[in-house]
Structure 1
């Protein structure tokens, strides 16, 4: 299982390969939120999302002989690109199983990074897990799951190490850390890192309304699922939290927050206008919670992770048009 030691080890393996993304602040966003808002822009990470961290962590942790045979992953796009990029850098083959309705940009980028893409019918109910397991066995590839994978969680947890160090440099000890949450890899990784390095900070998972399986699971104490995985925030629309990630979140996280698609689009526009960063819908929900759900927050300072920026141009246009 993942713990602080695993996160610190992943951090060492990522040294010289990962981008240490900053904490950004805008007085305009602080005014909207009514409190101090710091933004961790993982949209500036390699391949445009935090997923590179977990991909590199998992691939670099494999024994050399096993790694050389290649890896396989399933993803709607960001984990796909992270695995493809890390695999290419290690000189190994990668096969990525992606939904056929994934954003075109993510499909094209994954292929451009050298991975073989196999599509499946997500809307029709095809199982990416079953397809992935079959291909992995047939080709001798190592399957790297997008969130329920200890070394992936460890890699994502390095985001939390950075938050703790950067906040300390700014004199911030207490804060609520809002994290865009799908299966919970990033959320659980950050929570574990902060437990060890910034114990006075509380992680809050943020999801789209109608896809708040993590928030409902935290309230119920057992894993709950979503009826659908199709919506605006494609990057974080998972069926349910992971078997590994949920116990971590249940132990360490505060209550989840659900934001509307309109709030998400507005947060994307504000991120662009005020911070000059591009956020995809699934990467903007944490900022949307910081800006528009102040009544659900307790801390005077919130840190919102913008987890990805691989947005379809048409969707980004919709967001910017709301500010016209």
Structure 2
């Protein structure tokens, strides 16, 4: 296993990334550090450098991307000893350590979800952060409001609400009355019992949920041990297992966020989305990638940090068309385009399998 990152701390920021994320990380990581470095004791950048033969994490220029990202991370960590770059360790010893920490009742720990998305890497990052409360985020998350008191306010919510397993920044910039667009929160494809967001009536805008996304959350690790202990995997249905087999993926589990959410629902635990006192803290997620996104990303970050956002963006947790023209990205998500992509993936996966790659 990688060298120890140090003793247990109160708060750690933990960010998952992959070399192919570098085109946005050059802008988003400095932004994320501006938002959060002053509120945590340790920063752990969890770098999943595993090469895929097919799918989203496969690219001909992988080595070039890895070199670019490594250079950026070395510069940032060299200027702050609390920033640790931690390569995901796929040794049997490391996998067993993560299994015991989060899935001790399961005989084995899948490395990927049924769709090929990261699974082990998420829990490895939480495990390695070694903090009482871990602020986890994906590498593309954006933040506005930028309150430097938000983490202390989140601690107060944890202390006051014993069923709160997660506290998150507000889901998107609030509307003028402090609310979100509740109709946008519809749950996950693999979950049936999604409860709509509940307005909590606190002194500041806050909502309660019975589900969590791996995009962004603060997890109370001690509460996880006390209330959950071991996460049961959520088995995919037949259609998803068949898809996994056809695409040469593991059919053992649904994505990490559905596994976490299923245990929350079963045990009556909650996630609290908290804006906090002015100027507050909210998150914003770019759902697609296209040339306009990369071209406008520095300005998008500037406007998000300063809460200089159009009315059409208020209440929405995803960067929408009021800020970025997503038309070409949406065209690539059309049914014919998705079928064409699935066919390419099917051919590539089975070619790799037949050739023993």
* TM beyond 0.5: no
Give 1 or 2: higher helix fraction: 1
What's the TM-score, normalizing by structure 1?
0.31
**Between Structure 1 and Structure 2, whose CA radius of gyration is higher?**
2
What's the TM-score, normalizing by structure 2?
0.29
